[in-house]
Structure 1
Amino acid sequence: MLDKNVLNEIGSKVNEILASSPARDVEKNMRAMLTSAFARLDLVTREEFDVQQEVIKRTRIKLAELEEKVRKLEQQLQQPAEVVSSNETGDACCETQP
C-alpha cells in the first residue's frame, strides 16, 4: 500500500498549509502536494489497468489452449510406445498363424 513516510509527509504538509493559508491557497497547495505525492508512487491510469487486464485474460486463454495441446501430444507419444512395448512382450495381435 502507501508508504508510511509518504502518508506522514502528506499529513504534515496539509497541517502546515491549513495553518497559514487562505482557502484558495490551500486548494492550490493541496493540488500541488498531492500531484507531487502521486508522481512518486507507482500508479497507472484506469485505461492502462483495463488494457493490461485484457492482455492477461487473453494470455490465460492462450495458456490453457497450449496446455491442452501439450497434453494431447503427450498422449499421442505414449500410445505408440504402448503398442511397441506390447509387441515386444509377444502379444499375438500382429503375428500370423501358419
Structure 2
Amino acid sequence: MINPAKIEEIAKQISSNMPQGVKNLADTFEAKTKQAIQNKLAEMDFVSREEFDIQSKVLIRTREKLAELEAKVAQLEAKMTNSDSADE
C-alpha cells in the first residue's frame, strides 16, 4: 500500500527542485484555469450553496405549514360531518 504522506513528501521535493520559471508557469496556468472555470460556471444558471440552503429552509417551513393547514382542514371537516350527523 502506498503511504499518502510519502507521496506528499515526494511531490514537495519535486516542486522545490523545479526551476522558478516552471513554477511561475504552473501558477499562471492554475490561476487562468480557475478563472476560466469560474467564468463558465457564472454563465450557467446555477444557484449558490447559500441560496440553495435558504430555499431548502423555506421549503421545510412551507411543508410544515401545509401539514398544519391540512390538519386544521381535517378537523373542520370532522366537525362539519359531526354537526351534519347531529342535525339528522
Specify the TM-score bucket, using the shorter chain as the normaliser: 0.5 to 0.7
How far does residue 29 in structure 1 lie from its aligned partner after superposition? 2.2
- CA distance in 2: counterparts of 1:79 and 1:73, whole angstroms: 10
Name the counterpart of 1:25. 28
- CA distance in 1: counterparts of 2:71 and 2:57, whole angstroms: 21
1:55 aligns with 2:58: yes
Instruction: Output the TM-score relative to the length of structure 1.
Output: 0.57
How far does residue 35 in structure 1 lie from its aligned partner after superposition? 1.3
Which has a greater percent of helix?
2
Q: What is the root-mean-square deviation of aligned Cα atoms in Å?
A: 1.5
- CA distance in 2: counterparts of 1:39 and 1:47, whole angstroms: 15
Structure 2 portions without partners, runs of 5+: 1-24
Q: Greater CA radius of gyration, 1 or 2?
A: 1
Name the counterpart of 2:84. 81
Structure 1, residues 40-66: CA drift from partner, whole Å, max 9, x if none?
222222222221111111111111100
Identity of matched residues, %: 39
Structure 1 portions without partners, runs of 5+: 1-21, 86-98
- CA distance in 2: counterparts of 1:72 and 1:24, whole angstroms: 66
Instruction: Output the TM-score relative to the length of structure 2.
Output: 0.62
- CA distance in 1: counterparts of 2:42 and 2:53, whole angstroms: 20
- CA distance in 2: counterparts of 1:80 and 1:28, whole angstroms: 73
Give 3-state SS (helix, strand or coil) of 1:30's partner: helix
